[in-house]
Structure 1
């Protein structure tokens, strides 16, 4: 394990001297306008044309083997489009001036692939008994049964084919999404003599060590949100109107049912998760926020204090990229040499892009990289902080998952959102636990625990409060029609206030802050997947630490390889985890509670010192 107790050194000098990797695109294309890319575009268009000629209107007449061949050909088409689209997207991530190329490719790909829309519809129309007989008699079709099931389970929610084509070509949501994105791009936050963008002002709100500066930045942010509250309301109302129409044509009763369906999760499972999380508001997030306030010498927190790191490293030691790599790979290897070896490929083969650059997209992600035709790619914006090390562990978990599954489970059915975080959160937890075991002293342990609990509360509880807000506004719209600005604000304050408790009082100006959350606009009801995934993995990690499952590592690797073919019953069979048991979620939430218990115990001496240092009032 890398020694974390070494003395600090000049962070700026270390940052400048560090060598950060860039993506190697050898498995893709030499350039965005290369002959090779143009040749694959021509090849893909020809494959689509041939596929439509060979199969449109003929699926019902195919033998079992012919149907298997057709499905595999459709997947080959998807793989090629995925490889091309991945390359252009990743180049755009590196250089945002190439965004026009991505739009151009997306428009072309949509036009070309429309000719294959018949395929899923004709498979849905196949006679159930005849299809079952074909599958039973055809080994190649048996391997594709999960994909067939994923298509046919949509039969009750399939609009007429002409309606599908009309909706795809009209795409009314796109205009509202673009308005939302363009407005956020154009908004200016005037602060401290500078004109800042959204990410820049939020960075100050979340992490500036000066509380007065944080609060001033928060006031600027809230003011801009309120100035545009009419637009936030209009965008959300229009998107809810469109969703109401779409749900009516696709036979979904509740606004959130379509998301549960796409995640292949029963509504009652999500309801049980929601109940468990909300019932622990007082024992976990409320308690943590009160602890943070006490550590800061305050009775309550301001919203601008919510993300502040009380134990931030004042020396700002820069962790070199190579050291971060060793920390993560060592942690992975302690659990599984196979996982560590797969993760090491990302470093050795140029599958990571790490520098922070002006034209580069912010954040971090792992991309499957065009499925079987290429490989996964990880994007980081590495700045040498402990959080960057955790992010590296998280995204490498995604990358390892994508690589392990691409020739097996994900080659048949893609991993749903609710299970997509399995390897990433597990990898992050492995790294955190390794760092905690090797911490030099209580100061370092406090810092690690504080950051981890803070992050877990943001992932589990904050995202659930977003889901609560979505349910409130969509339920209101379905029952009563469009919401006013004040009604949006009221539901936001209620949902967030429930998760914050008395520790973070909110005023009415905070009611427009929902306007900056992109998931609420682009992917309704997406956010609970974060809560689901994190809590599921916490329970899984508990099973690992307990040692109650023989051959855990082997079963874990097999689970990752299963990709989208993994079913809830597989988790029960392999690890004894029954997500349909309402009490299951408490197992995952207890992981956060136990870490909070440990943090509180380590903080007791500090709180006592603070109390003793506070001047006592003189007796009258």
Structure 2
């Protein structure tokens, strides 16, 4: 998904904020959920190879700077007096420098990935936290030394960079130079990078450690917060209400700190955006996603206008099923009456996912098996572990790792399918493009994951013979889609308002709660009656802290996949080959180029409605079932 944050944001289907309690962990152990083995990266924080790699990378960074800095500067600024003593580079020499730069960056990526993954699996362990911070500081120091390279590349003449000797690097140089208008002086860029470890990154770490250690009171027991979130899916409404109150109490008890973290990071972003000249708080994210502002605006507008025909309709329907005039926020994820969810052991869940990918494309099935048959997945729900789920690409010379908290629910099987899609995408792009060109913009990074979920859902639906169970599967899929499209768009609208208001001063807990409740009422509709305690729920969402404005990528990906999947159903012949080619492109192609072979165009406003119509159609089907006594 993304390489930079210490913990990658959770999938939209994840409802928890921390890892599971001992009781849940024991249940997960009985389900057979595995832990990963990071030995393909390093054996331990004390691994001599890790120390040797850092020492080697330090030498290589120093040699790289000595060999290329002055000559690159002479190439970028030939008229400068200091450039007269140095021979400018040829395009072929720059291509050589780019290969060396990629090798060093991949080495740093390997070390950094190990520290990030170790911390994600042991978030509350102080020694692991210190190790991760130490590695972050070392990697940042070396990155500062290399910073001259990308800064100088952005000062090179565009025509000079188009030389055939640099053809293999044109996509990466194109994406690097998209930030050229917002680049600051070299000294300022170095300073911002150096202080990031004690600035933004430190606040993110504080948030992660706070959430991982947070507990709630349930039935006289002190349990990790995730136990309370899991109880929000209980069939007993009283237990759901109890869990919601416990979550609210825990979040409210930490509001001072969580509000402070949010205000500080929003101000930090506003300062940086102002220095660089970004016109809107979301502009830097859109640039990183290689997507135009108007495309994102079209997506958000389309979803916002669709709230009444999607979420408002569905939750009105759900209220009738539950026999309620109005829903409370703890009813949003309530199971439907008559539906008893059985626990799915890990072995069964992994085979469901394996078979779904295998049926779509044997090559992707083989890639999925590499994850499922090797210790590349940390799925056991244990205390002190990072929340939610993610896929970390690490580096092409190793392989991605997946993390989730598997507790045997159908939703967990879908989460496995989601992260598996990321992992397969990362392998295909890494092998085809190498370290620098494999990273995919977030808007497209969610394509493979959501498509994998759709494949798994469809395989389950096709295999289910019981009409009642099929309807429950359909309802569950609709809820997941609403969580991905409607809820994530509402998150985006919350962030937009928060960042805009933060420019005028700090926001209080009360104001943050008002904004949160406002977007929830608008997005979920009149079927809900939100109690005041729900106003604190904004504060557990990790996306707001880890990666501002990340969330719209989920809605982008889901709508895109709905449109893509409709093409697959209409024209299955040859689709898998085109799809694999799309994933292998990594970051070398933009959304227009990637979607063109499928006859799709995300810049067309009708594109988004095509994706939203899929959800609308599923809701219509359920309404018809209700009319016949469901």
Residue 66 in structure 1 maps to residue 79 in structure 2: no
C-alpha distance after superposition, 1:60-88 (max 9, x if no partner): 21111110111111111111122222233
CA distance in 2, matches of 1:327, 1:188: 33
Q: 2:454 aligns with which of 417, 426, 429?
A: 429
Task: Work out whether 1:270 is the aligned partner of 2:296.
Answer: yes
Matches within 5 A, 1:308-387: 308-310=334-336, 314=340, 316-370=341-395, 372-387=396-411
1:554 aligns with 2:580: no
Counterpart for residue 617 of structure 1 = none
Note if 1:565 corresponds to 2:588: yes
1:265-304 paired onto structure 2 within 5 Å: 265-304=291-330
| TM-fit CA distance, 1:28 | 2.5
1:14, distance to aligned residue in structure 2 (A): 9.8
The correspondence for 1:496, drawn from 503, 506, 520, is 520
- Note if 1:512 corresponds to 2:542: no
State the match for 1:392 in structure 2: 416
TM-score by length of 1: 0.89
Are 1:29 and 1:36, in contact at CA under 8 Å, matched by a contact in 2?
A: yes
SS in 2 for 1:246: helix
- Does residue 249 (structure 1) correspond to residue 262 (structure 2)? The answer is no
Distance 2:446 2:235 in 1: 31
Task: Find 2:150's aligned residue among 120, 126, 133.
Answer: 120
Q: Which whole-Å deviations, capped at 9, do the CAs of 1:189-224 have from their partners, x for residues lacking one?
A: 3332122333222222x2122211211221232244
CA contact (8 A) 2:234 2:335 kept: no
The two structures have a TM-score, normalised by structure 2, of 0.88
Pick closer, same or farther for the CA change 1:311–1:263 going to 2, 3 Å: farther
Aligned pairs, number: 587
Q: Tell which deviates more after alignment, 112-121 or 316-325.
A: 316-325
> Structure 2 unaligned runs (5+)?
1-23, 76-87
What secondary structure, in the 3-state scheme, does the structure 1 residue paired with 2:391 have?
strand
Cα 1:462–1:143 change in 2 (3 A) is same
Query: Is contact 1:466-1:527 (8 Å) kept?
Result: yes
Bigger relative contact order, structure 1 or 2 (CA pairs below 8 A, ≥6 apart): 2
Paired with 2:629 and 2:336, the residues of 1 have a C-alpha distance of 12
In 2: Cα distance, 1:33 partner to 1:78 partner: 22
> Is residue 105 of structure 1 aligned with residue 132 of structure 2?
no
CA distance in 2: counterparts of 1:240 and 1:500, whole angstroms? 26
RMSD of aligned alpha carbons: 2.4
Contact in 2 for aligned 1:159/1:250 (Cα 8 Å): yes
The equivalent residue for 1:53 is 66
| Residue correspondence of structure 1 range 445-464 to structure 2 within 5 A | 445-464=470-489
Per-residue deviation, residues 506-535 of structure 1 (Å, max 9, x unmatched):
244433322222222332211111111111
Structure 1 residues 13 and 243: CA distance shift in structure 2, 3 A: closer
Is the Cα–Cα contact under 8 Å of residues 332 and 431 in structure 1 kept in the other structure? Answer: yes
For 1:121-270, list aligned pairs within 5 A.
121-132=151-162, 135-136=163-164, 138=165, 141-171=166-196, 172-185=199-212, 187-204=214-231, 206-270=232-296
CA distance in 1, matches of 2:160, 2:209: 51
Deviation at 1:323, TM superposition (A): 2.4
Counterpart-to-counterpart distance in 2, 1:73 and 1:521:
33
Unaligned 5+ runs, structure 1: 1-10, 608-620
Give the whole-Å Cα distance in 1 for the aligned partners of 2:159 and 2:338: 63
In the TM superposition, what whole-angstrom CA distance separates every residue of 1:323-362 from its partner, at most 9, and x where no partner exists? 2232222221222111111211222343233333334434
Q: Is 414-423 or 383-392 further displaced after alignment?
A: 383-392
Which residue number corresponds to residue 406 of structure 1?
A: 430
Shift in Å at residue 185 of structure 1?
Answer: 4.7
CA contact 2:28–2:381 (8 Å) conserved in 1: no
Instruction: From 598, 609, 612, give the equivalent of 1:589.
Output: 612
* Greater gyration radius: 1
Cα separation, 2, equivalents of 1:216 and 1:224 = 12
Which secondary structure does the structure 2 equivalent of 1:531 belong to?
helix
